[in-house]
Amino acid sequence: MAGLEDLYREIILDHYRSPRNRGELPVPPAHKVEGFNPLCGDEVVVYLEVSDGVVTDLRISGQGCSISQSSASMMSAGVKGRPVEEVRKLIRSFKSMMSIHEHSLGGEDAEGEDETGTVSPDDLGELAALQGVVKFPVRIKCATLSWNALAQGLDEIAAGVPSGG
Amino acid sequence: MTSALDTGSLEAPPLDVASLRKEFPLLEQSSHGHRIVYLDSAASSQRPRAVLDAMDHYYETTHANVHRGVYAIAEEATRQFEAARSALGRFIGARRPETEVVFAKNATEAVNLVAHSYGRHLLPAGKAILLTELEHHANLVPWLMLAAERGTELRYIPVGEDYRLDLSRLDELMDGVGLVGVSCMSNVLGTINDLGPIVEAAHGVGAVVVADGSQLVPHRRVDVGALGVDFLAFTGHKMLGPTGIGALWGREELLDKMPPFLGGGEMIRDVRLDGFIPNDLPWKFEAGTPPIAEAVGLHAAVGFLETVGMERVASHEIELTSRAIDLLTERHGDDLRIFGPPADPERRGGVLSLGFRDIHAHDLAQVLDSEGICVRAGHHCAKPLMRRLGITATARASFYLYNGEDDVVALSRALDVAAAFFG
């Protein structure tokens, strides 16, 4: 049986205690997306700025457990300053890492897991620390909360949909 | 305090938790190498072997569909199903269980039945619905759906700083109300509501009262007559019974006037291609094959509770809750917040919603789980109340007759583990 240390890796607790890119951005020009985890009431708000195909800035607010908050923090560190196409690839890779159990739980965010164009877990950097979460199926939604919000934000920007807030 | 709640006499011999626990096979399991410490009975209780055996025995010897066959086992199945109804009715003091107790899937379905058959058909247009801020979603969403459909005004009795319903503006709130929905006990705070003044004010303006007894019926002696309400919804799986069965008790004259809820077999007396005649009470509200084995199991659960004695169950939980609050407060001081009223025999049940340091409830519950302790983490299906309290989640420990002080000590030790883990 999976132990606590599989879930709460030191790097995760570090991001939880000292979250990166915490805060808000003025909307517009930034795009704002909210994500809710109906299971536990966690909420994450992603502020996203994209120009010339690059995620130029990103801020996270909201509240939640260590897994949702550290995942959001690591995500922000991982995508800031990167081209949108690379970010999408990273999102696919991350969700693929989280997807097996999510699929069996009937989650609606498992689509895209079979798409090509993912990076291997070795290239996920510190995000790979969240791999242990799949051993705790109920917590997968915590880990993917901010990623789903980010994906939604990128889609909305691409489609020219105005910001949710 | 109404006489509806008998909190037990001091002379009743205390429960022997250690031997009682042996009746519950699940509690003999281990989790992560620890004894299972089950502190989530407010979400769902465990069930004794007597309930499991009764259901097995029914399936092995008796099963056939009810109210249909003329053969021996079908008649016996019908007899057992109706005997369960009578026993459940007597358990809550129903005068005419054979007509006033309707089996439903759970308390949620029971509330939906009232929202549909009373709310959509008998609640006068223009009358408001009065609820409270501490309702869980089962006694909230059916009314929100009704309000959205009919434009009914919804009002709420607020929760005060003392975690109790603030009845100071009750008369004003009640003016123009046609239906009141209120839970007997909060599943988040443990607050036992004093329904007396609410029922009196409601009946004063001609409103009916729908009480949600999910959290109280399993733990205290509830008498619908003394409670004075018009409907009482509750569920089997929180009172040692199986999942998939609950009940609605209602005043016969009201149930009689109400049209059916779900349509199908069993709920009809006659069907033609151009219409149907509904069945008599209570079958009018029981469309389709009912949960027969579950009714048999629930009957056994009621028997188990009656054998132990609801007065002893209540005394035990009152004592344990009081000890738990003292022990946890003493051991953890300011690190621990308990969202709910202080210990009070008549007005507080065994539900402790906890906040520990700044550790998120989800993380806290995860560490507790690693120590074999089962608590619920989250919003407990009461999001409006959580918003009112200004929090998103709590870790909730809830007690039942099989919990003892050793469980509280285990919880306290696990809190220390969480503190060390999250630094």
Residue ending a domain, choose from B272, B306, B340: B306
CB contact under 8 A, A64 and B360: yes
Residue of B nearest to A13 (CA): B422
Chain A residues within 8 A (CB-CB) of chain B? 1, 3-4, 7-8, 13, 39-43, 63-67, 136, 139, 142
In a domain, B387, yes or no: yes
On whether residue B201 sits in a domain, the answer given is yes
Kindly state whether residues B156 and B24 are assigned to the same domain: no
Strand B177-183 relative to strand B208-212, pairing:
parallel
What band does A103 get if pLDDT is binned at 50, 70 and 90? very low
Q: Contacts of residue B360 in chain A, CB cutoff 8 Å?
A: 64-66
Catalytic residue numbers of B?
Answer: 381
Cα–Cα dist B253/B256, whole Å: 5
Which domain-ending residue is among B278, B306, B334?
A: B306
Q: Among candidates B209, B206, B132, B135, which has minimal Cα distance to B170? A: B132
Residue B3 lies in a domain: no
Q: For residue B255, is it within any domain? A: yes
Pairing outcome for strands A54-63 and B208-212: unpaired
CB atoms within 10 A of CB B215: 28
Q: Which among B362, B370, B383 has the least Cβ separation from residue A65?
A: B362
Domain count, chain B: 2
Sign of CA dihedral B290, B292, B294, B298: positive
Q: Which residue of A has its CA nearest to B387?
A: A41
Q: Is residue B9 part of a domain?
A: no
CATH number at residue B376: 3.90.1150.10
Interface test with A, best of B34, B36, B364, B366 (most A CBs within 10 A): B366
Q: Verify that B260 and B314 share a domain, yes or no.
A: no
Rounded to whole angstroms, the Cα distance separating B401 from A99 reads 40
Both B67 and B205 in a single domain? yes
Give the pLDDT mean for B319-325.
96
Are B248 and B330 found together in one domain? no
Residue B180 domain flag: yes
B142 occurs within a structural domain? yes
Could you read off the pLDDT of B105-159 as tens digits, one per residue?
999 999 999 999 999 999 999 999 999 999 999 999 999 999 999 999 999 999 9
d(CA B201, CA B44) in angstroms, rounded, equals 33
Task: Provide the domain limits for residue B81.
Answer: 51-306
Q: Which residues pair with B185 in a beta bridge?
A: B192
CB pairs under 8 A between A and B: 47
Percent of chain B with pLDDT over 90: 88
What are the tens digits of pLDDT across the range A129-145?
888 888 888 888 889 99
CA neighbours closer than 13 Å in the CB half-sphere of residue B343? 14
Question: What pTM, to 2 d.p., does this model score?
Answer: 0.89
Residue B272 structure tokens: 């033609």
Q: Are residues B30 and B154 in the same domain?
A: no
Residue of B nearest to A3 (CA): B370
Angle between helix A140-159 and helix A66-79 axes, rounded to 10 deg: 40
With bands split at pLDDT 50, 70 and 90, how would you rate the model's confidence at B418?
very high
Q: Are B339 and B355 in contact (CB under 8 A)?
A: yes
Find the CB nearest B370 among A4, A40, A43: A4
The reply to whether B356 falls in a domain is yes
Helix (H) / strand (E) containing B123: none
Question: How far is Cα B189 from Cα B343, in angstroms, rounded to an integer?
Answer: 11
Q: Do B378 and A40 touch (CB under 8 A)?
A: yes
pLDDT at residue A105 in the model: 46
CATH number of domain containing B294: 3.40.640.10
B250 and B167 in one domain? yes
Other Cβ atoms closer than 10 A to A45:
19
Q: In terms of domains, do B358 and B276 share one?
A: no
Per-residue b or e along B321-348, where b marks 16 or more CB atoms closer than 10 Å to that residue's CB: bbebbeebeebbeebbebbbbebebebb
Tell me the per-residue pLDDT of B249-285, one tens digit each, with 9 for 90 and over. Answer: 999 999 999 999 999 988 988 899 999 999 999 999 9
Distance from CA of A5 to the nearest CA of B (A): 10
DSSP for A104-117?
HTT-TT-TTTT-S-
Q: What kind and span of H or E run contains A28?
A: none
Residue of A5, A13, A40, A145 to mutate for B, most B C-beta atoms under 10 A: A40
* Confidence check on the interface: ipTM exceeds 0.90, yes or no: no
What domains does chain A contain, in order, with CATH numbers? 4-159 (3.90.1010.10)
**According to the model, what pLDDT value does residue B5 have?**
46
Residue B363, chain A, CB below 8 Å: the answer is: yes
Domain boundary (B257, B276, B306) is at B306
- Are B280 and B389 contained in the same domain? no
Min distance B262 CA to chain A CA atoms (Å) = 28
CA distance A148 to A108: 11
pLDDT of A100 higher than 90: no
What residues of chain A lie within 8 A of the CB of B386, using their CB?
Answer: 41
- B202-250 pLDDT, tens digit each: 999 999 999 999 999 999 999 999 999 999 999 999 999 999 999 999 9
Q: Are residues B257 and B297 both part of a single domain?
A: yes
**B27 lies in the same domain as B162:** no
Task: Record the tokens describing residue B126, joined without a space.
Answer: 């223009």
Could you please report the per-residue DSSP string of B72-114?
HHHHHHHHHHHHHHHHHHHHTT-S-HHHHEEEESSHHHHHHHH
Examine the domain organization and report whether B196 and B322 are in the same domain. no
Window 389-408 of B, Cβ < 8 Å to A = 392-393
